[in-house]
């Protein structure tokens, strides 16, 4: 047999083998996921890149595959927060909180983390809208649900002020509580110079 033909045959078979491995690896990765997970991850990536319309489309696709997918519901809420569609964000978080409260199993630590984060995010929306009592209530509920999930430094302050200054749900809750105890005319619930520099938080 012609050596060139044999060589071409070997190269072709090698390429086909590599291609088959890549194809099956990608296919297995897609098929092995729970329904909705692939599109939720894709939406999360678009959210990080600030491609909010695309992110929302992916989260919607995830919910078509798996209605009540908690990651997709949270993703939609974050899109609404980032685009300042606060009424939509509140509605999405209300639904997610109600759904989780009714369906969580006692040993579902991830689920309780999502529930805590939903309360924290709803608190942040209330905070932005000047509904400080409701914000405080949600922050306290978040801490009581899963304080480890929402105690990461910087989240609340970054969302509210676009600053890298360290803060947390607990810090903001304590601050709001202390301020709300003061006479109304003495309260400082916003810091104007920081508000003026507010930028969107990238989760």
Is residue 187, in this structure, part of any structural domain at all?
A: yes
> What's the CATH number where 172 sits?
1.25.40.10
Is residue 7, in this structure, part of any structural domain at all?
A: no
Can you give the residue range of the structural domain that contains 128? 33-195
3-state secondary structure of 184: helix
Q: Can you tell me the distance from the alpha carbon of 72 to that of 77, in angstroms, rounded to the nearest whole number?
A: 9
pLDDT of residue 95: 97
Stated pTM of the model: 0.74
Is residue 148, in this structure, part of any structural domain at all?
A: yes
pLDDT at position 11 over 50: no
Is residue 21, in this structure, part of any structural domain at all?
A: no
Is residue 5, in this structure, part of any structural domain at all?
A: no
Q: Can you tell me the distance from the alpha carbon of 72 to that of 56, in angstroms, rounded to the nearest whole number?
A: 9
Is residue 200, in this structure, part of any structural domain at all?
A: no
Report the number of distinct structural domains present in the chain: 1
Is residue 114, in this structure, part of any structural domain at all?
A: yes
Task: Pull the structure tokens for residue 44.
Answer: 């999360």
Is residue 48, in this structure, part of any structural domain at all?
A: yes
DSSP 8-state assignment for residue 150 = H
CB-CB contact of 50 with 200 (8 Å): yes
Give the pLDDT confidence of 58-113 residue by residue, as tens digits. 999 999 999 999 999 999 999 999 999 999 999 999 999 999 999 999 888 889 99
């Amino acid at each position: 047999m012609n050596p060139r033909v044999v060589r071409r045959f070997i190269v072709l078979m090698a390429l086909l083998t590599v291609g088959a491995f890549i194809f099956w690896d990608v296919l297995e990765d897609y098929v092995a996921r729970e329904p909705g997970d692939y599109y939720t991850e894709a939406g999360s990536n678009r959210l990080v890149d600030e491609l909010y319309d695309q992110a929302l489309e992916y989260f919607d696709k995830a919910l078509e595959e798996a209605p009540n997918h908690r990651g997709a519901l949270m993703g939609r809420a974050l899109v609404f927060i980032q685009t300042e569609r606060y009424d939509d964000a509140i509605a999405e978080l209300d639904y997610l909180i109600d759904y989780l409260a009714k369906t969580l199993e006692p040993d579902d630590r991830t689920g309780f983390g999502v529930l805590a984060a939903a309360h924290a995010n709803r608190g942040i929306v209330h905070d932005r809208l000047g509904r400080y009592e409701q914000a405080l209530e949600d922050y306290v509920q978040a801490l009581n649900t899963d304080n480890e999930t929402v105690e990461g430094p910087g989240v609340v302050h970054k969302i509210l002020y676009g600053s890298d200054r360290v803060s947390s749900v607990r810090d903001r809750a304590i601050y709001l509580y202390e301020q709300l105890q003061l006479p109304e005319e003495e309260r400082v619930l916003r810091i104007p110079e920081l508000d003026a520099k507010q930028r969107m938080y990238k989760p």
